Chains A and B, each alone.
Chain A
Amino acid sequence: SLCSFFFLSSWQPQMVPFRGSHWQTSLLAFRASLPMRAQPKKKKKVDLKREQAQKDRMKKKIKKLEKAASEMIPIEDFITPLKYSDSNRVRSLPPLSFEETERRVLLMKKWGLFKQKQDEAEKKAIQSLVEAQQEALKELRLESEELYQAAIRRDEGLFPFERDGPNYTPPLPEYDPPEGKCVDITKVYTQ
């Protein structure tokens, strides 16, 4: 319409460009100045509410699932696999004779006594160790308080203490162990 105005006013003495309506704030930006905001405003409000409701429903569902989903992790040691309850698995051995049961009972009694003696000896040895250390610390205190305090301080570097336990035979020099791969198939459960 601007062009038509120019055309129509071409025969006027002065060509003055002027706006078509009071909404047209600038001459060049035509489409943006008109009030075109009615539709998007409605969408925002309604959508916001709908989206909020949807989110809440999802959260409720998730909470319900979380509450119900704490299954116990099965302890595999306590569950006997079904294949071991077959009757053909039962071992067939002759019943124990009277002498054998007697021998076993007497051996258990002997074992009890052996272990008791072993335990007493261990306790005595530990007692002797503690006494020796107490005596040493007492004498040290008589000598110098400073050395005594240094001695009773905790040794931070002592633990953790690791050591490879004794085996049945000493290590064989230049032994080449056979190759192999150990694959761990334990089942790992997550809650």
Chain B
Amino acid sequence: SAAGPRPWRLFGAMCLLRLPRITQPLEKEEEEMAALMAQIELEKSQYSDHEIRKLQEEDQLRRRKESMYDDDEAPGKTVIMAQDLEDKWEQKFLQFKAASRITDADKNNNRTSLNRKLDSNLMLLVKQKIGNQELWLLPQVEWQPGETLRNTAERAMATFLGDHIQAKTLGNAPYGIYKYKFPRAIRTENNVGAKVFFFKAFLQSSDLSLAELKEDYLWVTKDELGDYLKSEYLKKVNKFLLD
């Protein structure tokens, strides 16, 4: 644009999301519906080979008990019944122990851990010094001439998590904006306020051992953002976050 330098300072901020690892629990209606669908499927189905075998063997057993005739097969020959197979499979299943859906971090409410709340999105919040205040914010740095805003946001991510972070930025366009004016004490003609442009990225690797986290950081869900962010900032951030 041909006009003179704008009085707004530009910042690029990155909303880094750790996507869910496990499925969310079903709602009550969903559970009821799932049960009904299973029931209808059972009613409309026909017997499978395994079930026919089971029915025939039950029939044989019953007939053998009612009339005391000898077995047709030679004694000593072991026949595996379908019921035995089912019991064997059940035993094997009970021996397997899956990992728990609720982790230790959940129980301790350790908000710096990535292993918490595996069924929801987790966002990175860092403590930054703005003016003379220490605030919890999405990681942001000031825009420098010569780079696009997406690069600024990625630089912000690298500043707080190191260069080895593996994240996929979702596109070149910003997802949201937070505009604020500086307090009257430092506001001038050429320095009215700042515009913070938010970008979104998905965390690809869960291994952050190489990350050099210098500042205080937190991984929080959308509901917990309210505990840390200021109300105006929170309103703008909530606009581009899905549950």
* Shortest Cβ distance from A96 into B: residue: B43
In the complex, whether A188 has a CB less than 8 A from a CB of chain B is no
Number of cross-chain contacts by CB at 8 Å: 129
In the complex, whether B74 has a CB less than 8 A from a CB of chain A is no
In the complex, whether A114 has a CB less than 8 A from a CB of chain B is yes
In the complex, whether A66 has a CB less than 8 A from a CB of chain B is no
Query: Interface residues of B toward A: which range?
Result: 35 or more
Which residues, 152 to 190 on B, are CB-close (under 8 Å) to A? 168-177, 179
In the complex, whether A12 has a CB less than 8 A from a CB of chain B is no
**Chain B neighbourhood of A139, CB < 8 A:** 177, 179, 195
**Chain B neighbourhood of A152, CB < 8 A:** 172-173
**Chain B neighbourhood of A62, CB < 8 A:** none
In the complex, whether A32 has a CB less than 8 A from a CB of chain B is no
**Chain B neighbourhood of A170, CB < 8 A:** 21-22, 99-101, 103, 118
Evaluate contact between A88 and B47: CB separation under 8 angstroms: yes
Evaluate contact between A110 and B239: CB separation under 8 angstroms: no
How far is A104 from B33 in the complex, measured between Cα atoms in Å?
Answer: 9
Evaluate contact between A91 and B46: CB separation under 8 angstroms: yes
Contact flag A147-B179 (CB < 8 Å), given A91-B43, A111-B33, A172-B98? no
- Tell which of A111, A137, A173 touches B29, judged by Cβ atoms closer than 8 Å: A111
In the complex, whether B63 has a CB less than 8 A from a CB of chain A is no
| B214–chain A nearest beta-carbon distance, Å | 29
| A167–chain B nearest beta-carbon distance, Å | 6
Contact flag A90-B175 (CB < 8 Å), given A107-B33, A129-B240? no
| B66–chain A nearest beta-carbon distance, Å | 21
Contact flag A133-B36 (CB < 8 Å), given A147-B149, A151-B150, A169-B100? no
Residues of B within 8 A of A (CB): 1, 6, 8, 10, 19-23, 27, 29-30, 32-33, 36, 42-43, 45-47, 52, 98-101, 103, 118-119, 148-150, 168-177, 179, 195, 197-198, 202, 236, 239-240, 242-243
Residues of A within 8 A of B (CB): 84, 88-91, 93, 104, 107, 110-111, 114, 125, 128-129, 131-133, 135-137, 139-140, 142-145, 147, 150-155, 158, 161, 163, 166-173
Given contacts A155-B172, A166-B21, 4 further A-B contacts (CB under 8 A): A129-B239, A139-B179, A147-B10, A152-B173
